[in-house]
Amino acid sequence: MSNINIEIEQQLRNENVDIIHFVDISMLDIKQNRGLPFAILIGIAINPHFLEMVCNTPDYTHTLDDEYAQTESRVGLIADKLTNSLISNGYKALSQSDNGLMAEKAFDFETKTSALPHKTIAILSGIGYIGKSNLFITEEFGAAQCLGSVLTNAPLTVAKHNTLLPKCHRCTICHNICPQKALKGVCWNTNVSRDEIVDVYNCITCLKCLAYCPQSRAYMKRAIRI
């Protein structure tokens, strides 16, 4: 690992970031990677007690200031801070926070798509897979993490990883619990589009698919027991 990898990881650990991966995105088209060869994937685990509350509150409604929203906001601020640090050290860098994407006009509000989703970078990191909920799922946290990313030309040390296929198998919990029936019960692979998995225009971000995912519940039980 290069010195700059170590410095970045230490900076992010000081911010209590749970997921840090350095990813090669040079194979993506220029519209996606914006001419930058590397991405830094950032993730913060969602408070397991919040997940427990969502599971125990049948009519829970996600708000713009709840724990999930605050975690998403925190990830964005950390991505912005890291971007500014890289730029101050003479490198090119782009934050893929909400503010960064809007400033760059890299988010299409009509189709609800960004130029390079965090999940695409996460898939390339090899640490997880996209589930039937269309959420990124890791072994450690299930679907219970908020992701962010920074694109850069800083000379990072990266390793290539195999793409992990979903381990959902016959599980249909997220599909069954979705109150809007926005999830279609389809497993992701590289030939399956987002719209074949979820109707994003009908999703109300109720967080039930995230909280009830068996992998998220396993994380929740481990974390609360500890």
The H or E element containing residue 130 is strand 128-130
Q: State residue 137's pLDDT score.
A: 98
Query: Does the pLDDT at position 88 exceed 70?
Result: yes
CB 119 within 8 A of CB 130: yes
133 token code pair: 């909920």
Q: Which of 77, 8, 74 is nearest to 38 (CA)?
A: 8
Q: Convert the pLDDT of each residue in 134-192 to its tens digit.
A: 999 999 999 999 999 999 999 999 998 999 999 999 999 999 999 999 999 999 998 99
The separation between the first and the last C-alpha atoms of the chain, rounded to the nearest angstrom, is 31
Report pLDDT digits (tens) over 99-148.
999 899 888 888 989 999 999 999 999 999 999 999 999 999 999 999 99
Query: What distance in Å separates the CA atoms of residue 143 and residue 131, rounded to the nearest whole number?
Result: 8
How much is the pLDDT for 226? 59
Q: What's the pLDDT at 53? A: 95
- Which candidate, 67, 21, 69, 68, places its Cα nearest to that of 43? 21
Q: What is the pLDDT of residue 56?
A: 93
pLDDT of residue 109: 86
Residues whose CB falls within 8 Å of the CB of residue 206, separated by 6 or more in sequence, listed in order: 60, 61, 62, 178, 179, 180
Q: At what angle do helices 214-225 and 48-56 cross, to 10 degrees?
A: 120
Give the pair of three-digit tokens for residue 154.
């800083």
